[in-house]
Structure 1
Amino acid sequence: MAVANPIAKLRSTPTSISDKLATMNKDQINNLTILLMTLGISALFFSMIHQFLMVMFLSGLFSALARPFYLRLDLWLGGRHHLASLVTLLAMVFIILIPLVSLIGIVVAQAIDVSQSVTPWVKKLSEPGVFAAEITHLPFYDDLLPYRDLLISKAGEAVSMVSKFLVGGLSSLTLGTANVVFMAFVMLYTMYFLQMDGDKLVERILYYLPLKSSDEHLMLDKFTSVTRATLKGTMLIGAMQGTLAGIAFAVAGINNAVFWGTVMAVLSVIPSVGSALVWIPAVIILMVQGQMANAVLLALFCGLIVGSLDNVLRPILVGKDIKMHELMIFFSTLGGIMMFGIPGIFIGPLIASLFITIWEMYGTTFKYLLPAVEWTPTARPLGQPEPAADTDTNATDTADAPDPQVTQAPAVESDAADSAREPGHA
């Protein structure tokens, strides 16, 4: 039987191997070309619509908020999706948008009044002798007097920053009124279609993600829970704190109470300390003006009632769904506001939750590469030396161990007694 020569076989089929290599190269080049074209055209598309990305994101958030109402309405209307979506938008316009526009008008008017009244007050306060006369009513007057120049300079810097912010914001709001109206129309138009086709869009996005179904559902659940918690909890807590604080400011005799209540509602997104950034300076101003009774009552009301709303309601409305540490919520909210503006209230915690989720997915996927952690934190106070556990244990064992000299005698007596009880013992 003849044995086939492998070298001759390779020499006899050079064309087939080269064809396979050529085919593999063509497939790889084709896949790489499609990938590069996908990335390039997608980058071009998103750069083209980047001015509308924030509006689209907010449309998605509010569509998710109104989704249960839309589904019930669609069922009640017999599956008329377009009519159900239109009625949902009209309800949101009359319930949310019109009152919000009215509130913004009041806040803008009071913001102008604040910017016009605070600056002259600080200028007057910086005049010689005026500051000392204003703080003479304080019980700690002698302690504050050495820091007069520092307090005046810091107050001037703060008022200057606030004035620039208010003037710039009001100017941009006045000049961009047409743009605001246009963006509101774009947002409502986007929400109209997201109510009907949002589930199809989410399904298509998940299809294009090269992830396992479990990972996709984990990220989607995290996105949904954080969005729901932020919209439900943050907005409700902010509205309640701002309303109560505004009423308290009006009763205490503070001007422009609606403006300051709105500022507190916005700052309430910062856990634990947000509302205090408004009412503590208000209490200090009342004390400087000599209104000690109003200052004490305002401090008690805001500290015990307004502040407790955050501590009581946030774990119930936000913490249960968002499942993030308060420190993470704090930094993500501040970072989101500084990067994205007001929409960062929602975007910051969402990015933080996705950050935590992706690291959990990393730990699950690569757990076979990650070593086990063998570390137990000690409960002793910082700086206190560790107790001599081995010495105490040895001492305890030594104390509990029987003494050889004591145990030897009973053993002899026991042997003697046993011998005495044996038959035939004399």
Structure 2
Amino acid sequence: MSAHKPEKKIVQDMPKNRHLTSEADRMLNSLQAKYFLMLFLLVTLLLGWVLWPFWQLLILAFLLAGIFRPVYLLLCKWVSPWMASSITCILITVIIFVPLTFCIGALSSEAINLFHWSKDSNLLLKIQQSLQNNTLAGRAQELLVGFGINFEPSDVTRMISDLSKTAGLFIYGKASGWAANIMSFVFQFLILIMVIFFLLKEIDRLIEFLTHLSPLPEEQDKLLMNKFMELAGVILVGNGISGVFQGVLGGLFFAMLELNSPVLWGSVMGVLAFLPIFGIGGVLVPTAAILLINGHSGQAIMTLVFYGMLAFSVEYLLKPKFVGSQVKMHTLLVLLAILGGMSLFGI
């Protein structure tokens, strides 16, 4: 009977040993998870460090690939994916970057002309004399004095001169920098096109890989990806087309009135068109005021009428057609996001 006692003790210790084994396994799994997380974060940081010089190009490539993907899918019905991606990249180059190259040259020359115009003492003296002899400016001066604000015509000419010098030097510096660093521009452009080429072909696999890594359910991952691509296309295509539309028409209007630097001011209006509150009025309203002060009341009225018609057609006809109600964001949030994005990208 004594021979059966050790066996009974072993049987009694088995649950205790199993508990110790499971506890050790949990500790080992927890330790492995921590090491894996540390290595994953380290590799992610190193990858981000390596790709950091190209982050602006990568974001732009993702956006352009998403915008032109319908063109790529349409071409895939007739040609191979490789050929469809190549043709799409050629279209992107022709539609966007070739006009941009010509525009940079025109901006450079017109910016330096604006700088010389701001230093023209005779022109500034003429503006000052026009302000002094203008009854409307005199009434405005009297009204401002009542509020304790001293307003002199020389202050206006000085402000115009300073703003013109600053804007001219800034745009000339940017355009000259792009033209001088032609090799860097070509290198970055080739990288951008190469990234777009592979994104068009592999974006489905990339989205599948990202959704596989995501802890969210598959349906929510697909919804987020589709919404991101939809918003990117709506914001860039809708606002981009309306901005180009307003910039081109604004430049043509300046050329029709034989005003200085139509390409420069058209480009400025194209950028300002992204702002939902101020818009192209930041150029056209001061232009109308200067024309009125100089005695060109007919051209000033034409400028204001043109501004009203263009702003109305874009805000109430063109933008709703492209954007619609898909972007449910407050106007103030859109304005702050655009200004913050321009500052972040160094524009």
Asked if TM exceeds 0.5, the reply is yes
Look up the equivalent residue of 1:58 and give its one-letter code: L
Cα distance in 1 for residues equivalent to 2:238 and 2:24:
60
Deviations along 1:208-230, one digit per CA (max 9) or x if unpaired, are 11112333233223212211112
Give the one of 135, 139, 163 matched to 2:135. Answer: 139
Cα distance in 2 for residues equivalent to 1:192 and 1:97:
15
Alpha-carbon deviation of 1:57? 1.3
Matched, 1:90 2:90: yes
The 5 Å alignment of 1:24-173 reads 24-77=26-79, 80-118=80-118, 120-121=119-120, 125=124, 132-145=128-141, 146-148=150-152, 150-152=155-157, 154-155=159-160, 157-173=162-178
Mapped contact 1:73–1:84 kept (Cα < 8 A): yes
The 5 Å alignment of 1:185-196 reads 185-196=190-201
Go from structure 1 to structure 2 and tell me whether the alpha carbon gap of 1:272 and 1:254 turns closer, same or farther (over 3 Å shift). Answer: same
Alpha-carbon deviation of 1:24? 0.6
Alpha-carbon deviation of 1:152? 4.9
Go from structure 1 to structure 2 and tell me whether the alpha carbon gap of 1:32 and 1:244 turns closer, same or farther (over 3 Å shift). Answer: same
Look up the equivalent residue of 1:225 and give its one-letter code: E
Correspondence for 1:331: 336
Unaligned runs of 5+ in 1: 1-7, 343-426
Mapped contact 1:138–1:287 kept (Cα < 8 A): no
Unaligned runs of 5+ in 2: 1-9, 142-149
Cα distance in 1 for residues equivalent to 2:25 and 2:267:
66
Correspondence for 1:315: 320
Deviations along 1:1-35, one digit per CA (max 9) or x if unpaired, are xxxxxxx9876654332222211111001011111
The 5 Å alignment of 1:262-281 reads 262-281=267-286
Mapped contact 2:265–2:283 kept (Cα < 8 A): yes
The 5 Å alignment of 1:355-374 reads none
Go from structure 1 to structure 2 and tell me whether the alpha carbon gap of 1:150 and 1:96 turns closer, same or farther (over 3 Å shift). Answer: closer
Deviations along 1:71-130, one digit per CA (max 9) or x if unpaired, are 1212212xx221221122122223332222222222222122212222x147974x7xx6
The alignment's TM-score, normalised by the length of structure 1, stands at 0.71
Higher relative contact order (CA 8 A, sep 6+): 2
Alpha-carbon deviation of 1:139? 3.1
Correspondence for 2:218: 213
Cα distance in 2 for residues equivalent to 1:141 and 1:247:
29
Cα distance in 2 for residues equivalent to 1:63 and 1:156:
43
Correspondence for 1:377: none
Correspondence for 1:423: none
Go from structure 1 to structure 2 and tell me whether the alpha carbon gap of 1:307 and 1:180 turns closer, same or farther (over 3 Å shift). Answer: farther
Cα distance in 2 for residues equivalent to 1:267 and 1:229:
18
The 5 Å alignment of 1:197-212 reads 197-212=202-217
Give the one of 212, 227, 233 matched to 2:232. Answer: 227
Alpha-carbon deviation of 1:297? 1.0
Mapped contact 2:107–2:172 kept (Cα < 8 A): no
Aligned CA RMSD, in angstroms, stands at 2.5
Correspondence for 2:308: 303
Deviations along 1:243-286, one digit per CA (max 9) or x if unpaired, are 21112112222111121111101110111421111111111221
Look up the equivalent residue of 1:139 and give its one-letter code: T
Go from structure 1 to structure 2 and tell me whether the alpha carbon gap of 1:151 and 1:267 turns closer, same or farther (over 3 Å shift). Answer: same
Alpha-carbon deviation of 1:132? 4.2
Deviations along 1:298-321, one digit per CA (max 9) or x if unpaired, are 111112234432233223322432
Alpha-carbon deviation of 1:325? 2.3
Deviations along 1:114-170, one digit per CA (max 9) or x if unpaired, are 12222x147974x7xx66413135332323554016545544553454244234323
Correspondence for 2:290: 285
The alignment's TM-score, normalised by the length of structure 2, stands at 0.86
Tell me the number of residue pairs that the alignment of Structure 1 and Structure 2 aligns.
330
Go from structure 1 to structure 2 and tell me whether the alpha carbon gap of 1:174 and 1:233 turns closer, same or farther (over 3 Å shift). Answer: same
The 5 Å alignment of 1:399-418 reads none
Look up the equivalent residue of 2:217 and give its one-letter code: K
Identical aligned pairs, as a percentage?
25
Go from structure 1 to structure 2 and tell me whether the alpha carbon gap of 1:12 and 1:245 turns closer, same or farther (over 3 Å shift). Answer: closer
Go from structure 1 to structure 2 and tell me whether the alpha carbon gap of 1:155 and 1:96 turns closer, same or farther (over 3 Å shift). Answer: closer
Go from structure 1 to structure 2 and tell me whether the alpha carbon gap of 1:31 and 1:122 turns closer, same or farther (over 3 Å shift). Answer: farther
Cα distance in 2 for residues equivalent to 1:10 and 1:287:
103
